[in-house]
């Protein structure tokens, strides 16, 4: 089928007309969803509204996403896929926490964070995260588990499932915590100073994890320095 140009439908080129159309439609849908979110607020528009705005039928929308939430969560999904990609690029012998920190550093630039920040501020008022968004984080956790399992397998045959799952979950939780604190502090502020603070929060959260949260009752000694895990 795909024998025309490349070999494996991997990363760079996918020039098939069909693939391009699908990608464009997908993008049109998320754009429409975001646009409606901006103008109407969360929960105040229907799938039909999105479909109309994107110039497709309601039925076609469901060929791409299973709900409005899912369309919006594409933003989060994109961000986290990016994070995992960075994470996989780290050397296999590096401590996992350090890899996680490095991967997160690579994402704290305006272009990458901006969509997530906007989505977050726009949906903030509706208390809890949507189903699809939580799924996206869960999916990311699974990916980290997979990577961690590979790395630990190198050392011992019987992989310690608890170690791997607890670590992955903790990393995600701490990353989420850093993002939450940043969002509540700075809103959608993407200035260099704000992004520097985000980076510091991410570093601090990984440091907390790496030190077993021993800093306990003396937060002053930690919140200003980048602590031990930093590169």
Partner DNA sequence: GGAAAAACTTGCTCAGCGTGCAAAGTTGCA
Partner DNA sequence: TGCAACTTTGCACGCTGAGCAAGTTTTTCC
Where on the chain is the footprint of DNA (CB under 7 A)?
Answer: 1-4, 16-18, 21-22, 25, 46-48, 56-60, 62-63, 66-68
Binding piece for a second copy, criterion CB under 8 A, among 8-16, 70-78, 83-91, 219-227: 219-227
Contacts (Cβ under 8 Å, ≥6 apart) of 42: 122, 123, 125, 126
Q: How far apart are CA 163 and CA 77, in angstroms?
A: 25
Q: Considering the rule CB under 8 A, would residue 109 count as an interface residue with a second copy?
A: no
- The answer to whether 108 and 198 have CB atoms below 8 angstroms apart is yes
Of 129 and 190, nearer to DNA (C-beta) is 129
Out of 22, 26, 88, 165, the residue judged to bind a second copy by CB under 8 A: 165
Q: Considering the rule CB under 8 A, would residue 135 count as an interface residue with a second copy?
A: yes
Question: Nearest-CA neighbor of 117 among 187, 199, 185, 175?
Answer: 187
CA 49 to chain centre: 26
Q: How far apart are CA 84 and CA 143, in angstroms?
A: 7
CA distances from 171 to 62, 129, 138 (A): 33, 18, 12
68 binds, among DNA, a second copy, none (CB under 5 to 8 A by kind): DNA
Binding piece for a second copy, criterion CB under 8 A, among 1-9, 40-48, 59-67, 166-174: 166-174
List residues near a second copy by CB under 8 A. Answer: 95-97, 128-129, 131, 134-135, 138, 152, 155-156, 158-163, 165-170, 172-174, 176-178, 180-181, 184, 201, 204-205, 208-220, 222-223
């Amino acid at each position: 089928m795909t024998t025309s140009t490349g070999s494996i439908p991997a990363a760079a080129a996918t020039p098939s007309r069909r693939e391009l159309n699908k990608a464009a439609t997908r993008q049109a849908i998320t754009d429409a969803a975001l646009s409606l979110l901006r103008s109407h607020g969360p929960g105040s528009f229907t799938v039909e509204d999105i479909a109309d705005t994107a110039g497709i039928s309601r039925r076609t929308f469901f060929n791409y996403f299973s709900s409005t939430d899912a369309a919006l969560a594409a933003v989060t999904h994109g961000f986290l896929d990016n994070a995992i990609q960075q994470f996989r690029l780290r050397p296999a012998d590096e401590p996992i926490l350090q890899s996680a920190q490095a991967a997160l550093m690579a994402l704290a630039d305006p272009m990458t964070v901006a969509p997530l920040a906007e989505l977050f501020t726009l949906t903030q008022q509706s208390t809890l995260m949507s189903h699809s968004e939580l799924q996206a984080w869960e999916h990311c956790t699974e990916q980290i588990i997979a990577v961690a399992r590979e790395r630990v397998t190198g050392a011992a045959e019987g992989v310690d499932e608890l170690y791997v799952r607890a670590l992955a979950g903790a990393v995600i939780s701490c990353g989420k915590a850093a993002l939450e604190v940043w969002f509540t502090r700075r809103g959608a502020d993407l200035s260099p100073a704000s992004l520097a603070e985000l980076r510091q929060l991410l570093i601090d959260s990984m440091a907390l994890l790496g030190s077993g949260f021993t800093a306990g009752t003396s937060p002053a000694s930690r919140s200003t320095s980048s602590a031990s895990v930093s590169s």
